[in-house]
């Protein structure tokens, strides 16, 4: 899927974006989007707003309400883009996977992907009320994570049911719009690829399943043929650039998912670094780094999986790359926020192609802890302002 803007002038809180008939951006206002990850329906938080053992649908409903209140919130005076101004319209909301938790039997029986997805629809999708610069409903964009995929194809641990592809089928239907909608029975991970791109504010955004493996990179190569080398490109997926070995395909025997080998077969590439999940992933990382060096306009990488807020630079396994990376917190499994609910966060990203600048801000949406309500204004944490493309 590729979306191109049409002819017209779009007013955005006093700024103007002008487009040619072909859809080429001439002048763009800054664009803002919301980035979060790892909602993990099926799990509970230890503590949230004065209660213990709180179900994910309760926590994520509160997260959705905080996102709804963003447009009127004032950005911090941090020297970044639009500092001190209202957030304003939101171009899109992106969740980079693990919408459902793996439906494991042990140590606790986690509910099925079907049940988790229905809760996600009810407490998150249907609650979002944002609009974009043109006054249209803000699109909610989704890519799957390792738990979503494992529910569909099985896992080294015991799942009950053994497979349930509901979340994968629903993400595919919403993002890929197949002529024949997929069901949990008809969805096939090997062939029903969830990978798409869309342009926002002069930047080209690419959305992938799991990680930019060799299959995804071939698709990206084709996708970028219609994108100018001067256009900044952002990648959105679940896994960090330095992928975990366990997410690769089993290098042993018939390459099956097994409790003995513990590889999860989530990524097409067979692990080339060793025969156990403790192997490094330098070979796979080098292949990704080489691809990124060949496409220098891929300037941003957004991921979940490891569950804490961070703005960092990935330099590749050999230190010869500079890629700006943005890691999101999880409302349920946050490495920091899991123990301290006042650190719960999502990211508010603002970029301006004309100014060649992006500002990422940590939005603390539950900073008052037990005293927090849906109406409490958000707080702001760390921020980072970077160039989109080298001069």
Q: Answer for the pair 223, 197: CB distance below 8 angstroms, yes or no.
A: yes
Summary count for the chain: helices (H), strands (E): 6, 17
User: What was the pLDDT predicted at 129?
Assistant: 98
Q: Answer for the pair 157, 104: CB distance below 8 angstroms, yes or no.
A: yes
User: What was the pLDDT predicted at 310?
Assistant: 98
- Concatenated DSSP letters for 145-175? -HHHHHHHH--SS-BSSS---HHHHHHHHHH
User: What was the pLDDT predicted at 29?
Assistant: 83
- The residues near 300 (Cβ < 8 Å, ≥ 6 apart) are 232, 233, 234, 235, 323, 324, 325, 326, 358, 388
Average pLDDT by consecutive 10-residue portion of the chain (391 residues)?
Answer: 34 34 56 98 97 98 98 98 98 98 93 98 98 97 98 98 98 98 98 97 98 98 96 98 98 98 98 98 98 97 98 97 98 98 98 97 98 97 95 60
- Which domains does the chain carry? 31-387 (3.60.21.10)
User: What was the pLDDT predicted at 28?
Assistant: 66
The CA angle 204-175-142, to the nearest 5 degrees, is: 80
């Amino acid at each position: 899927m590729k979306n191109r803007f049409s002819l017209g002038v779009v007013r955005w809180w006093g700024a103007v974006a002008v487009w040619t008939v072909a859809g080429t951006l001439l002048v763009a206002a800054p664009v803002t989007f919301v980035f979060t990850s790892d909602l993990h329906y099926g799990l509970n938080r230890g503590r949230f707003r004065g209660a213990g053992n709180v179900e994910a649908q309760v926590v994520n409903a509160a997260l959705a309400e905080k996102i709804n209140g963003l447009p009127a919130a004032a950005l911090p005076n941090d020297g970044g883009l639009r500092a001190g101004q209202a957030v304003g319209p939101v171009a899109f909301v992106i969740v980079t996977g693990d919408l459902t938790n793996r439906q494991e039997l042990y140590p606790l029986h986690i509910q099925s992907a079907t049940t988790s997805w229905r809760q996600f629809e009810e407490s998150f999708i249907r609650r979002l009320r944002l609009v974009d610069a043109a006054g249209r409903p803000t699109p909610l964009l989704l890519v799957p994570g390792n738990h979503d995929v494992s529910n569909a194809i099985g896992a080294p641990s015991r799942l009950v049911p053994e497979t349930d592809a509901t979340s994968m089928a629903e993400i595919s239907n919403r993002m890929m719009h197949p002529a024949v909608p997929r069901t949990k029975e008809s969805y096939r991970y090997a062939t029903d690829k969830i990978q798409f791109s869309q342009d926002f504010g002069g930047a080209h955004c690419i959305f992938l399943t799991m990680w930019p493996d060799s299959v995804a990179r071939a698709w990206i190569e084709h996708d970028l043929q219609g994108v100018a080398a001067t256009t900044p490109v952002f990648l959105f997926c679940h896994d960090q650039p330095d992928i975990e070995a366990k997410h690769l395909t089993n290098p042993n025997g018939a390459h099956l998912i097994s409790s003995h080998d513990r590889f999860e077969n989530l990524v097409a590439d067979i692990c080339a670094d060793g025969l156990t999940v403790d192997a490094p992933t330098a070979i796979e990382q080098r292949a990704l780094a080489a691809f990124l060096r060949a496409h220098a306009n891929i300037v941003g990488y957004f991921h979940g999986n490891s569950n804490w807020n961070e703005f960092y630079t990935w330099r590749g396994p050999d230190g010869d790359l500079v890629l700006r990376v943005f890691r999101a917190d999880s409302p349920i499994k946050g490495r920091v926020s899991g123990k301290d609910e006042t650190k719960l966060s999502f990211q508010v990203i603002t970029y301006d192609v004309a100014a060649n600048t992006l500002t990422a801000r940590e939005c603390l949406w539950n900073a008052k802890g037990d005293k927090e309500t849906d109406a409490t204004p958000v707080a702001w944490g760390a921020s980072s302002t970077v160039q989109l493309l080298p001069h």
